[in-house]
Structure 1
Amino acid sequence: MTPFRLLAAAVLLGLATGASASSLVGTTDTLVNALQASSDALSDVTSSLRDDKVIRAARDDAASFVASDGAIRGAHLEAALRLLRDRAPALAASDLQLAEALLVR
């Protein structure tokens, strides 16, 4: 192989590696920003309900739900999930994410 071809191959390889790294950084930034926005929205909803009786009553049920990976669904948790979804209909969070947020608050 001639030195020119070796140099051309090395340059092309370097450009391809740089493009992949840039693409990975862009994708990672997009995912992190989306997760942060979702987390902030969930935090806002649950923190505004911190003193709500329904939410406080659901904490034990939420703990059981999270610990059982969604197998145990208590009545208090169901009421709290309905309340959260009624107050924030645009919130795109799973029941498990909401239960975890109830435990953190």
Structure 2
Amino acid sequence: MTRLRLLSAAALLAMAANASATSFIVTTDSIVGALKATSDATSDVTSSFRDDKIVLAARDDAASFVASEGDIRGVKLESALDHIRHQAPQLNATDAQLAQAILTL
């Protein structure tokens, strides 16, 4: 009887470990997918606005915005964000993502 319980416990433990590993893989895939989407969005911004004077002028304001976690919003950054959203309306990026993209230029 104890051998049956031991085998049952081992089988349950194996199934639990497998389920845990599967959920970890799904979670990891979701996070990587989200990061890739963010990276693609910022890559699109940096390639199309690399020579844009309005966007380049906002680099200092973008640095302040990122460093203050969104508390400091300069006039040049606001102008650049409006300009980017007007030029690329299909882009679904937050202000923080756009500010980080501006810093990579």
Q: Same fold (TM over 0.5)?
A: yes
CA contact (8 A) 2:81 2:95 kept: yes
SS at match of 1:30: helix
- Alignment coverage as a number of residue pairs: 105
Structure 1 segment 1-105 matched on structure 2, within 5 A: 2-105=2-105
**Structure 1 position 101, deviation (Å):** 1.1
CA contact (8 A) 1:62 1:100 kept: yes
**Structure 1 position 30, deviation (Å):** 2.1
Q: Output one character per residue of 1:18-49: Cα deviation in whole Å (capped at 9) or x when no partner.
A: 11101111221122022202211221122210
Q: Output one character per residue of 1:62-83: Cα deviation in whole Å (capped at 9) or x when no partner.
A: 1111122212111110011011
**Structure 1 position 85, deviation (Å):** 1.5
- The 1:69/1:30 distance shift into structure 2, 3 A limit, reads closer
TM-score norm. by structure 1 comes to 0.89
Identical positions, percent = 62
Q: Where in structure 2 are there 5+ consecutive unaligned residues?
A: none
CA contact (8 A) 1:38 1:92 kept: no
CA contact (8 A) 1:81 1:98 kept: yes
Paired letter, 2:77: L
SS at match of 1:71: coil
TM-score norm. by structure 2 comes to 0.89
* In 2, Cα distance between equivalents of 1:41 and 1:100: 11
